[in-house]
Amino acid sequence: MALIVQKYGGTSVGNTERIRNVAKRVAAYRADGDQVVVVVSAMSGVTDGLIRLAKEITPLPSEREMDVLLATGEQQTIALTAIALQTLNVPAVSLTGAQAGIVTDGVHTKAKIQNISPAEVHRLLDEGNVVIVAGFQGQSFSGQITTLGRGGSDLTAIALAAALKADLCQIYTDVDGVYTADPRLVPNARKLPEISYDEMLELAGSGAKVMQLRSVEFAKKFDVVFEVRSSLNDHPGTIVKEETSSMEDVVVRGVSLDKNQAKLTLFGVRDEPGRAARIFRGLADANINVDMIVQNVSHEGGIRQTDISFTVDKPDLLKARQVIDGLKPEIGFKESVADESIGKVSIVGVGMRSHSGVAAKMFDTLAQAGVNIEMISTSEIKVSVVIAADKGDLAMRALHHAFLE
């Protein structure tokens, strides 16, 4: 008898017929004698719809109330999935994140899991139930409802698999696995049979939303091997696991595009020690993640000054502007300009460690495609560039063609 954690994303539970299909799949595993814990997302579009409603009232709603609101999406699907299983005569019990013992810190909308007390889940499993847990949500030490960031149901599943010491963790989604690029944008993309945690981390951090970044961090830290596969068929998916030596033979494993970033530039910052520290301390204190940073020194009237550009997630842009404008008297910059029409394309692969000329080939390919590069950043296994948003798809296809076809 195996203990299996299965996570079903928004499209996989997007209507009642799909929920019935999920129930059938779960029932089949259980009929084979396995214990099954199911983690579900909100039905597709529900979380976005709730965010839209709040923003109709105010552009910057209270983060505590957003968590109370968004947690309702997953609460609908756990009950519907339990009802669908019960209809198949499979005993099933739904649990909210709090009921499942998921304890988080108190950072609303981006909470981190602190610990999981799985006693109740074990008790219900031992009684013969399928346990359906609401993804994306938890409860803080002080009893507040929290959520784990967009795509956070992936994290719920992986953290539960670790806490329950599950034999298998399966992430069911609307594509057959992890591809060399988003198959919806790059028709020639190929499904990967396997990928290392580090490559999946870099892809997830660069816009490949097939897995939430923090869920992959968690999987790597606790060595949770998991499979990404389709809820719509029985094809084998992609295994995400620790790197093996043969993985280095491939220079570029995948290409990704992130359209969810915005760039903020502060013009005319005085070039003195401590200015950058003050800016990024202010953003960090507001829990805003900064991705790329570029600083250019210039001279005006004999005074050295700098322009500082950085990127943040689009939903954080308004908050970032508020922080920056609040610091204006202290930092003394001339003006701040936001640019939301940017895209970030990245190439990722552990083979980059042992191959040279990868960045040069990337820049050549982009030049030939007529794509201008605005910012560059690299890690040991990734090269990312910021470009104009409307060139994103073109750039991605050109890079996929150059490195992966």
What residues from 125 to 154 belong to the interface with Mg ion (CB under 5 A)? 151
Q: Which is nearer to Mg ion, 97 or 151 (CB)?
A: 151
Q: Which is nearer to ligand ADP, 190 or 270 (CB)?
A: 190
Q: How far is the CB of 47 from ligand ASP (least distance, A)?
A: 3
What stretches of 252-342 show up as alpha helix (H) in DSSP? Answer: 275-285, 317-331
Given a contact cutoff of 8 angstroms between Cβ atoms, the answer to whether 399 and 365 are in contact is: yes
Number of residues that bind Mg ion (CB under 5 A): 2
Q: Which is nearer to ligand ADP, 251 or 283 (CB)?
A: 251
What type of residue is 78? I
276 token code pair = 């950058």
| DSSP tag of 389 | G
Asked whether position 136 contacts ligand ASP by CB under 6 A, the answer is yes
Per partner kind, with CB cut-offs from 5 to 8 A, the member of ligand ASP, ligand ADP, Mg ion, none near residue 42 is ligand ASP
Per partner kind, with CB cut-offs from 5 to 8 A, the member of ligand ASP, Mg ion, ligand ADP, none near residue 135 is ligand ASP
Number of residues that bind ligand ASP (CB under 6 A): 12
| DSSP tag of 191 | B
Residue 205's Cα: distance from chain center in Å?
7
Span near ligand ASP by CB under 6 A; candidates 148-156, 180-188, 348-356, 396-404: 148-156
End-to-end CA distance of the chain: 42
What residues from 7 to 66 belong to the interface with ligand ASP (CB under 6 A)? 9-10, 41-42, 47
Q: What SS3 state is found at 318?
A: helix
Q: Which is nearer to ligand ASP, 151 or 207 (CB)?
A: 151
Per partner kind, with CB cut-offs from 5 to 8 A, the member of Mg ion, ligand ADP, ligand ASP, none near residue 136 is ligand ASP
Per partner kind, with CB cut-offs from 5 to 8 A, the member of Mg ion, ligand ADP, ligand ASP, none near residue 73 is ligand ASP
Asked whether position 207 contacts ligand ASP by CB under 6 A, the answer is no
Q: How far is the CB of 182 from ligand ADP (least distance, A)?
A: 3
Given a contact cutoff of 8 angstroms between Cβ atoms, the answer to whether 199 and 146 are in contact is: no
Q: How far is the CB of 43 from ligand ASP (least distance, A)?
A: 9
Q: Which is nearer to Mg ion, 14 or 151 (CB)?
A: 151
Question: DSSP string covering 54-122, please?
Answer: HHHH-SS--HHHHHHHHHHHHHHHHHHHHHHHHHTT--EEEE-TTTTTEEE-S-TTS--EEEE-THHHH
Residues of the shown chain interacting with ligand ADP in the complex, contacts defined by CB under 6 A: 9-12, 41, 151, 173-175, 178-179, 181-184, 208-210, 254
Distance CA 41, CA 108 (A): 18
Which value, to the nearest 10 degrees, does the dihedral of the CA atoms of residues 122, 126, 132, 138 take? -10
Asked whether position 135 contacts ligand ASP by CB under 6 A, the answer is yes
Which residue reads 């299909």 in tokens?
21
69 token code pair = 């609101």
Helix axes 275-285, 317-331, angle to 10 degrees: 140
Q: Which is nearer to ligand ADP, 118 or 207 (CB)?
A: 207
Span near Mg ion by CB under 5 A; candidates 6-14, 57-65, 328-336, 387-395: 6-14
Beta partners for residue 170, in sequence order: 6, 227
Q: What SS3 state is found at 337?
A: strand
Q: How far is the CB of 54 from ligand ASP (least distance, A)?
A: 14
Q: Which stretches of the chain bind ligand ASP, using CB under 6 A?
A: 9-10, 41-42, 47, 73, 135-136, 150-153
Binding stretches for Mg ion (CB under 5 A)? 9, 151
